[in-house]
Amino acid sequence: MFKKFSQLGRAFMLPIAILPVAGLLLGLGGALTNKSALLAYPFLDQTWLQTILSVMSFAGNAVFSNIALIFAIGLAVGLANGDKGTAGLAGGVSFLVYTATISGLLQMFSGKDATIDTGVVGSIVVGGTVAFLHNRYRKTELPQFLGFFGGSRFIPIISSFAAIALGSFFYLIWPPIQDVLVIAGKNIAHMGSFGSFLYGFLLRLTGAVGLHHTIYPMFWYTSLGGSEVVAGHTISGAQNIFFAQLADPNHTGLFTYGTRFFAGRFATMMFGIPAACLAMYHAIPKQNRQKNGGLYISGALTSFLTGITEPVEYTFLFVAPWLYVIHAFLDGCSFFVADLMNIRIGNSFSGGLIDFLLFGVLQGEDKTNWMRVIPIGLIWALVYYIVFSFAIRKFKVAIPGMEIESGVEKATTATAEKSSLNDEAQMIIAALGGAENIETVAACATRLRVAVRDGKQVDQGPIKNLGATAVFEVNGGIQAVFGGKADLLSQEINQILGRDD
């Protein structure tokens, strides 16, 4: 079960990776074309500049308006075992057939010229179904007179027929399910700030094993994140609502309450994690600081700028999981406080400085209350520094740089630092028990994820020596935290294994 959820989480990363750029376009375009921005900054009121900014806004909004289609394609590609281009085409075609089926049934039996928005749930079902059919039938050989439609060409055909069945099924079951989601979303809203705390706390806990990608999309893109009428249209999902309001030039007042599923991130990612890095740096022996300082500085900057926290979290997660639970609790408290302080900053991907500027500062204090993040963040930095300093020193947590390296370890590390990407990939393959022991290799934002046939053949030592901040076993494989290098290693390993199709 863990393996399946982990695979789904990896597949989610492909479409989610598109959102930061789309959010950048929409954030800049929407922020610098609204009337308040033009009044505050008259130099922006240039025809050519407003044309460019408007096009940026339209381009970014196009992505978020079609997020369900993008997710269906991305999931089909991410879950396919090979020939991923065909899987992506089948995913796109199938989702269009799926929505057209629902729309047609509504017109015939309900007299409504509309469709039912199944959001990311429909994307998962369609994308997952396409991937299943693709993996099972892409090498199917048809009778000779139908030979042209065999193999990969068979997949979009059979997937389209499956999409008709799925559309008919969802036409029957989704309206009551949607009602339940609306009620559930309202109940969460009625939990108030405590609900925000639970969301942040549980999201951070599941992030420890990479399962958070299966949780937050339900709040971001379905009625669990709320429903609201924006510009005459009913929008469901916290992020969908936020970006619809961002694209609405007539929106006034604070942004949607659904931003509570985002606003709590900024204090932790921009202030808390960097402060924890400083605490860890001060906790390691002075003779090790020069060598390990880069690890903590880069981790702090990555968290501060982009909101990606895994490179830092995996420095202490497995040596002190209780400290990670404290971290998750503090993150939950950050969501709780942001909710109490009525902070209404949205985000496209994470809670770093880029999103803070785009969706907080540039949108205006009257819409976001972004200034309140600064004092909260400074307090959060102090809390994180004190907690991590005390915990690491008191309980002697074995974070990187805490131990004095032997001569052999130093030589091994130096060799790894001089090796090429291909050499490192070859070393990882050997450490995993060879090509015959490797089932699949993939990567998310920071982790190399490998499914192996026999976990006993895996030697974690060489993988750690290559720079992985953490290596841990899961049912059926391993995950190694390499930071941004994870995707490059994944591609290189798959190319060596001849699985890069």
pLDDT score recorded for residue 97: 96
pLDDT score recorded for residue 484: 67
pLDDT score recorded for residue 372: 97
pLDDT score recorded for residue 440: 85
The ranges of the chain with pLDDT < 50 are 2, 406-409, 411-412
The CATH superfamily holding the domain 407-496 is Glucose permease domain IIB (3.30.1360.60)
pLDDT score recorded for residue 83: 85
Query: Alpha helices of 268-406 — where are they, by DSSP H?
Result: 273-283, 286-306, 310-313, 321-340, 353-356, 365-368, 373-395
pLDDT score recorded for residue 42: 81
Q: What is the DSSP string of 252-302?
A: -SSPPGGGHHHHTHHIIIIIIHHHHHHHHHHHS-HHHHHHHHHHHHHHHHH
pLDDT score recorded for residue 11: 75
Residues 380, 266 contacting (CB under 8 angstroms): no
Place of tokens 């963040």: 377
pLDDT score recorded for residue 147: 75
pLDDT score recorded for residue 405: 52
Backbone angles phi, psi at 440, to 5 degrees: -140, 150
Token pair recorded at residue 203: 């999201």
Domain with CATH 3.30.1360.60 in the chain: 407-496
Q: Which residues of 410-439 are buried (b: 16+ CB within 10 A; e: fewer)?
A: eebbeebeeeeeeebbebbbebbbeeebbe
pLDDT score recorded for residue 499: 75
Cα separation of 414 and 68, whole Å?
A: 46
Cα separation of 470 and 403, whole Å?
A: 15
Query: For residue range 141-189, what is the model confidence (pLDDT) as tens digits?
Result: 888 777 778 878 899 999 999 999 999 999 998 888 767 766 765 676 6
pLDDT score recorded for residue 412: 47
Q: HSE-up of 206 (CA within 13 Å, CB side)?
A: 16
Residues 48, 117 contacting (CB under 8 angstroms): no
What is the Cα Rg of the chain in Å? 24
